[in-house]
């Protein structure tokens, strides 16, 4: 219709009419594009809100699944360092405590399930990270992916190279499995021959190497991942206006 009118105006050399038709055409196209943009923007905002809500659910799930093992791994690093002080005569004490014995032997355990966030994986694979308007949250989520990959690599490398002290030095350490009364989890009671360990250079060498690896696994793997998870959770709470302290209070 508009094209026919423009041709008629052109034939009759009605330049004013032709100009008006051109203006109508350009404005029409411009408005059409604006409406498309507006619709797309509104859809992105809706998707962004849904994504952040799903992410919060994923975060709570991941924390529930990994919190116990994460705390255990990090606390054991400190006890294993204390065990080294006892074994190498840097303290007054001559005997390892039960916790130090367990931590020293547990330097061979690197397994840890750094639970992922399915909503984040979906957003990345669909190439829609840009719908997140909060730059800090977007950067924190990218950082989380990076530290999770670094942790997974450390677990694989250390699991392959670490020495099983409980298998290699059976005269120096005895394991006894039991079921925890608290959570039904199967755990180990470990009994250490502290003096025997102190006098066995092969054990001391292997324990020192294990502790060095374990320290790196905590410092460069578990701790950064844990800190980044906390940061992402704080930013999600901010975006959703959630306060867990308020929920916990009566
Ligand atoms: Zn929260």
**Residues 138, 136: Cα–Cα separation, whole Å:** 5
> How much is the mean pLDDT over the chain?
89
Give 168 Cα–ligand 1 centroid separation in angstroms: 45
Give 131 Cα–ligand 1 centroid separation in angstroms: 21
Residue 250's pLDDT is 46
Give 52 Cα–ligand 1 centroid separation in angstroms: 11
Give 56 Cα–ligand 1 centroid separation in angstroms: 6
Residue with token string 């050399």: 13
Give 76 Cα–ligand 1 centroid separation in angstroms: 27
Is the model's pTM score more than 0.85? no
Give 95 Cα–ligand 1 centroid separation in angstroms: 43
pLDDT digits (tens, 9 = 90+) for 90-119: 999 889 999 999 999 999 988 888 889 999
Give 146 Cα–ligand 1 centroid separation in angstroms: 22
> Looking at the DSSP assignment, which residues form a beta bridge with residue 186?
179
pLDDT digits (tens, 9 = 90+) for 126-155: 998 989 999 999 999 999 999 999 999 999
Structure tokens at 194: 């502290």
Give 90 Cα–ligand 1 centroid separation in angstroms: 43
Residue 249's pLDDT is 43
Structure tokens at 15: 């330049």
The residue that leads in pLDDT, 130 or 35, is: 130
Whole-Å CA distances, 65 to 6, 74, 146, 152, 155 = 69, 16, 20, 16, 18
Give 153 Cα–ligand 1 centroid separation in angstroms: 28
Does residue 242 sit in helix, strand or coil?
coil
189-194: average pLDDT: 94
**Residues 242, 250: Cα–Cα separation, whole Å:** 16
Residues with CB under 5 A from ligand 1 (ion): 237, 242
**Residues 10, 21: Cα–Cα separation, whole Å:** 11
Three-state secondary structure string covering the chain? CHHHHHHHHHHCCCHHHHHHHHHHHHHHHHHHHHHHHHHHHHHHHHHHHHHHHHHHHHHHHHHHHHHHHHHHHHHHHHHHHHHHHHHCCCCCCCCCCHHHHHHHHHHHCCCCCCCCCHHHHHHHHCCCHHHCCCHHHHHHHHHHHHHHHHHHHHHHHHHHHCCCHHHHCCCCEEEEEEECCCCCCEEEEEEECHHHHHCCHHHHHHHHHHHHHHHHHHHHHHHHHHHHHHHHHHHHHHHHCCCHHHHHCC
Give 248 Cα–ligand 1 centroid separation in angstroms: 12
Structure tokens at 84: 């080294």
Give 143 Cα–ligand 1 centroid separation in angstroms: 19
Give 167 Cα–ligand 1 centroid separation in angstroms: 42
Residue 192's pLDDT is 97
Give 243 Cα–ligand 1 centroid separation in angstroms: 7
> To 10 degrees, the CA torsion angle through 114, 120, 126, 127?
-100
Give 241 Cα–ligand 1 centroid separation in angstroms: 9
Give 127 Cα–ligand 1 centroid separation in angstroms: 25
Give 108 Cα–ligand 1 centroid separation in angstroms: 34
pLDDT digits (tens, 9 = 90+) for 38-94: 777 778 788 899 999 999 999 999 999 998 888 889 999 999 999 999 999 999 988
Give 244 Cα–ligand 1 centroid separation in angstroms: 6
DSSP state of 107: G
């Amino acid at each position: 219709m508009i094209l026919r009118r423009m041709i008629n105006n052109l034939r009759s050399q009605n330049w004013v009419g032709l100009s008006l038709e051109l203006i109508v055409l350009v404005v029409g196209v411009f408005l059409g594009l604006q409406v498309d943009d507006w619709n797309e923007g509104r859809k992105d905002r809706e998707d962004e809100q849904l994504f952040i809500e799903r992410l919060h659910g994923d975060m709570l799930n991941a924390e529930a699944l990994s919190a116990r093992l994460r705390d255990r791994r990090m606390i054991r690093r400190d006890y294993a360092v204390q065990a080294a002080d006892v074994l190498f005569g840097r303290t007054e004490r001559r005997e390892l405590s039960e916790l130090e014995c367990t931590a020293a032997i547990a330097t061979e355990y690197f397994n840890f399930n750094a639970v992922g966030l399915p909503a984040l994986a979906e957003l990345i694979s669909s190439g829609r990270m840009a719908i997140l308007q909060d730059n800090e949250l977007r950067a924190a989520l990218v950082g989380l992916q990076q530290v999770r990959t670094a942790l997974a690599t450390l677990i694989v490398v250390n699991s392959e190279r670490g020495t099983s002290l409980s298998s290699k030095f059976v005269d120096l350490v005895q394991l006894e499995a039991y079921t925890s009364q608290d959570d039904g989890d199967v755990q180990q009671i470990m009994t250490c021959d502290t003096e025997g360990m102190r006098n066995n250079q092969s054990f001391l060498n292997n324990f020192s190497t294990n502790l060095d690896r374990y320290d790196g696994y905590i410092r460069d793997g578990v701790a950064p991942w844990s800190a980044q998870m906390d940061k992402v959770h704080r930013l999600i709470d901010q975006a959703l206006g959630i306060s867990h302290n308020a929920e916990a209070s009566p």
